[in-house]
Homo-oligomer: A and B are copies of this chain.
Amino acid sequence: MGTLVGMASTRTDPLTLEVVDLIGTVVARYHEEYELAAAQHSLTGAQARVLGLLALEPLPMRRIAVSLRCEPSNVTGIVDRLEARGLVERRPDPADRRVKLAVPTDEGRATARRLRESLEFAREPLAGLSVAERTLLRDLLRRMLGEPVAP
């Protein structure tokens, strides 16, 4: 993993620090816009994330917790609040009477769709980059995340 001779310590060289800083800025802006978009639909960030998940596929509580990386007891409250607004409902799982499936209502699906659209629009800063640049960015991010570059 990198030669020792001439290694400017990836921890401290100015270039790396600047990239880390830029990523910090991206992270901050991403979060701001996400919370803002959620708030425009009278949702909190957590509620928006759960609704977004369920719009793809109804899920048992347990799996929501895994996706959110939090305790199942926490999910109970979030789904409670979504249910109180009529965006989600709990259905028994016919295959296992212990589990409850959280499934979005029609209104929940519509809200999720609008949310997704405003989010995509909010993330538009990529528009300033050409296709070649976006491809480059994609490959660099993939490598950074340890994913294979070739599809």
Contact = CB atoms under 8 A, between A and B. Distances in A.
B140 A129 contact: yes
A11 B124 contact: yes
Contacts of A123: 20, 23
A51 to B, nearest CB: 16
A24 B30 CA distance: 8
A96 interface: no
Nearest to A141: B22
Interface of A: 1-2, 10-12, 15-16, 18-20, 22-27, 29-32, 69, 120-121, 123-129, 131, 133-138, 140-146
19 contacts: A2-B127, A10-B127, A11-B120, A11-B124, A16-B126, A18-B138, A19-B134, A19-B137, A19-B138, A19-B141, A20-B120, A22-B142, A24-B30, A26-B141, A26-B145, A129-B140, A129-B143, A129-B144, A133-B143
Given A15-B138, A26-B27, 11 more contacts: A11-B120, A11-B121, A15-B131, A15-B135, A22-B141, A22-B142, A26-B26, A125-B144, A133-B143, A136-B136, A137-B144
